[in-house]
Amino acid sequence: MGEPGTKELLSLEELEAAGSFRTGRKHILSILVENKPGALTRITGLFARRGFNIDTLAVGPTDDETISRITLTLDGAVQSIDQVTKQLHKLVNVLKIRDLEPTETMARELALFKISADGGSRAEVMQVCEIFRAKIVDVSKRTLVAEVTGTQEKIDAFERLVRPFGLVEMARTGEIAIARGRAET
């Protein structure tokens, strides 16, 4: 591709091809940050600058009230993930970052599904919920709300199964994660 500043005409395909590669490997980053104003913006801003799409993002307190944990999942090229983690380390409010290995990590997400369930289909929907150990937390005449926890994949599977019944709406928290075994995340 030609250097900016030269006359060479660029095709749209070339521009797209020059965009960042995706490895397809999902990354779960667990980031401990000082509970300071703007900390989250600094982090998400950095991802935006480097051209990463954050798939999910969850923020919450830790056992230490001055520190929050940000868990985010994204899809990225290995090389650039490395660059992003290094850049994140430079943020003064960031205390610790871990790029969690999927096999050594417990990751869970919570989701709420509002599903059409009038007379005929209700029993079948409830059966699916049971298989997935989903809790039914609200029932109305035509719908019910199911609460599911599990890995992203489990929740995706649940969604696929209940969609045919009529999925009215859905809300997901994004994954949070913690390292298996004794090691600190």
Partner 1 sequence: MRAVDALMECLKAEGVEVVFGLPGGANLPTYDAFYDAGIRHILVRHEAGGGHAAEGYAKATGKVGVALGTSGPGATNLVTPICDAMMDSVPVVFLTGQVRTELLGTDGFQEADTIGITMPIVKHSMMIQHPLELPRAIHEAFHIARTGRPGPVVVDIPTDLSRADIPYEPITDVHLPGYQPTTDGNQKQIRLAAKALANARRPVIYAGGGAVGASAELRELATSDRLPVTCTVMGLGSFPASHPQWLGMLGMHGTRTANYAMDEADLIVAIGARFDDRVTAKLSEFAPHAKFIHIDIDPAEISKNVPAHIPIVGYASNILPRLTTEYRALKPDPARLEEWWHRIESWRARYPLAYSDSDDSEIKPQYMVQALFEATEGNAIVASDVGQHQMWAAQHYHFDRPRQWINSGGLGTMGFGLPAAMGAKVGRPEEMVVCITGDGSFQMNTQELATCAQNGIDVKVFVMNNGYLGMVRQWQELFWDRRYSQVHTGQYPDFVKLAEAYGATGVRLTDKHTLVEGMRQALATDGPVVVDVRVSAEENVYPMIAPGQAARDMVG
Which structure tokens are listed for 68?
């929050």
91 binds partner 1 (CB under 8 A): yes
Cβ atoms within 10 Å of 15's Cβ, excluding its own: 10
* Binding window for partner 1 (CB under 8 A); candidates: 35-43, 105-113, 147-155, 168-176: 35-43
Per-residue contact flags (x/-) with partner 1 for residues 45 to 84, judged by CB under 8 A: xx--x--------------------------------xx-
From the CB of 43, what's the least distance to partner 1, in Å? Answer: 11
Q: Which is nearer to partner 1, 5 or 119 (CB)?
A: 5
Exactly one of 19, 37, 119, 120 binds partner 1 (CB under 8 A); that residue is: 37
From the CB of 64, what's the least distance to partner 1, in Å? Answer: 11
Task: Determine the Cα–Cα distance for residues 160 and 108; give it in Å rounded to an integer.
Answer: 18
From the CB of 134, what's the least distance to partner 1, in Å? Answer: 39
Which structure tokens are listed for 104?
């050594």
Give DSSP secondary structure letters for the chain. -PPTTS-----HHHHHHTSPP----EEEEEEEEES-TTHHHHHHHHHHHTTPPEEEEEEEE-SSTTEEEEEEEEE--HHHHHHHHHHHHTSTTEEEEEEE-GGGEEEEEEEEEEEE--HHHHHHHHHHHHHTTPEEEEE-SSEEEEEEEE-HHHHHHHHHHHHHHHEEEEEE---EEEESSSS--
Exactly one of 13, 24, 41, 103 binds partner 1 (CB under 8 A); that residue is: 41
Q: Which is nearer to partner 1, 26 or 50 (CB)?
A: 50
Exactly one of 9, 12, 18, 92 binds partner 1 (CB under 8 A); that residue is: 92
Chain positions 15 to 34 lying near partner 1, rule: CB under 8 A, are 33-34
Write out the residues near partner 1 by the rule CB under 8 A.
Answer: 2-7, 33-34, 37-38, 41-42, 45-46, 49, 82-83, 86-87, 89-95
